[in-house]
Amino acid sequence: MKDTFNNKKVLVTGHTGFKGTWLTLCLLRLGAKVIGLSFEKNSNSTLYQATELNNLADTRYCDIRDKEEVKNIILTEKPDFIFHLAAQALTLKSYEIPHETFETNFIGSLNVLEALRVSNHNCTCIMVTSDKSYKNDEWIWGYREIDKIGGDDPYSASKGTCELLINSYYQSFFSHPSSNTRVATARAGNVIGGGDFSENRLIPDCVKAWKKNESVIIRNELSTRPWQHVLDPTCGYILLAAKLSDNKELNGEAFNFGPPANQMFSVKDVITKLAEKWTLALPKQLYKLENTEYKREAHRLKLNCDKAKELLNWQAELNIDHTLKYTADWYINSITGAQKARDFTFSQIDNYLAQVAYEF
């Protein structure tokens, strides 16, 4: 399992964030030497702090919008792999700070791609965008990688524009025989798992409220989403990087990483199922509906993951019950302090890696 990443230099942007921390811990488990690039202002992620990741990864605080700093890090370090996750990742916040969202997500991606173009060292780069990159027609089918890119709210549109940008860099530079850069985009949906304490995300909101024996306030109980555990797409990104480094046919491709089509659940179902796995005290009423009008968010969004199955042999491993069990167990361990967060998180990663059908 450790061949591809063992002793390899891997740059993870956004490594202090929720997904970035899980990804970094997985890469460390696979023997990688991780350099993390994140924004100091945003670096109070509970998972990052709880797992004391700063002691394990070489952290560089830098603004991804700063072209010269990003270029300097990439040209100096010449990482074998880059996973670009740094972003303003919250849809609701993107209505409050649209300009910053576009700047961080678009210019940040542009800076990484431009540094790779200039450096032209051997590097495999996974650009993490989102399922929200697709033009959402709220239809019943899963989106395929060939479907239209779009996005109405600023976050979704910023991720859609990143897709166009990445494709342009691939077509114009990285597809050229003299280029040593391989790039692919990874599109995943909402993820859940231990250690997320972001605002306006369902599971963190449940944990925060239930800890105080209060009902969680939610915006829309019927909103139906493809929920998945963070380890599923995270290991999909790693698998994609491993395969891409070995197979130039995958250069420039996009891949969806979502749960199976029958794993669509409403917010109400997810809260009910999470409560079944919650062994600590619960409030009498699990949730209440917010009575203010909520900002428009797409309600139906599903990914078709046939391409990842066919070309990478990837599929989601955890069904909704396993996903919520992993998640509830993480928060319960954190609240009771039974095991150190880092050890507990590594034990979940080890369990997960022991059951996946692929090798890196």
Q: Which is nearer to ligand NAD, 57 or 209 (CB)?
A: 57
- Residue pointed to by tokens 């809260």: 271
Which spans of this chain sit near ligand NAD (rule: CB under 6 A)? Answer: 14, 16-20, 38-39, 42-43, 45, 63-65, 85-89, 104, 128, 130, 188-191, 198
Q: Which is nearer to ligand NAD, 79 or 189 (CB)?
A: 189
Q: Which is nearer to ligand NAD, 232 or 317 (CB)?
A: 232
Report how far residue 339's alpha carbon sits from residue 104's, in angstroms, rounded to the nearest whole number: 36
CB atoms inside a 10 Å sphere around CB 336? 10
Shortest Cβ 216–ligand NAD spacing (Å):
18
Shortest Cβ 99–ligand NAD spacing (Å):
12
Q: What's the first-to-final CA gap in the chain, in angstroms?
A: 5
- Diameter over CA atoms, the chain: 64
- Asked if 16 contacts 88 with a C-beta cutoff of 8 angstroms, the reply is no
Q: Which is nearer to ligand NAD, 84 or 215 (CB)?
A: 84
Q: Which is nearer to ligand NAD, 89 or 244 (CB)?
A: 89
Shortest Cβ 123–ligand NAD spacing (Å):
19
Shortest Cβ 52–ligand NAD spacing (Å):
16
Helix (H) or strand (E) holding 126, with range, is strand 123-128
Q: Which is nearer to ligand NAD, 215 or 232 (CB)?
A: 232
Beta strand 224-226 pairing with 264-266: antiparallel
Q: Hey, CA dihedral for 67, 250, 123, 17, is it positive or negative?
A: positive
Find the length of the chain. Answer: 360
Report how far residue 350's alpha carbon sits from residue 348's, in angstroms, rounded to the nearest whole number: 5
Beta strand 181-188 pairing with 224-226: unpaired
Q: Which is nearer to ligand NAD, 215 or 308 (CB)?
A: 308
Shortest Cβ 28–ligand NAD spacing (Å):
16
Shortest Cβ 48–ligand NAD spacing (Å):
8
The structure tokens listed for 1 are 């399992």
Helix (H) or strand (E) holding 58, with range, is strand 58-61
Which residue's CB atom is positioned nearest to ligand NAD?
Answer: 17
Q: Which is nearer to ligand NAD, 107 or 250 (CB)?
A: 107
Report how far residue 163's alpha carbon sits from residue 54's, in angstroms, rounded to the nearest whole number: 31
Shortest Cβ 191–ligand NAD spacing (Å):
4
Shortest Cβ 34–ligand NAD spacing (Å):
13
Q: Is 252 helix (H, G, I), strand (E, B) or coil?
A: coil
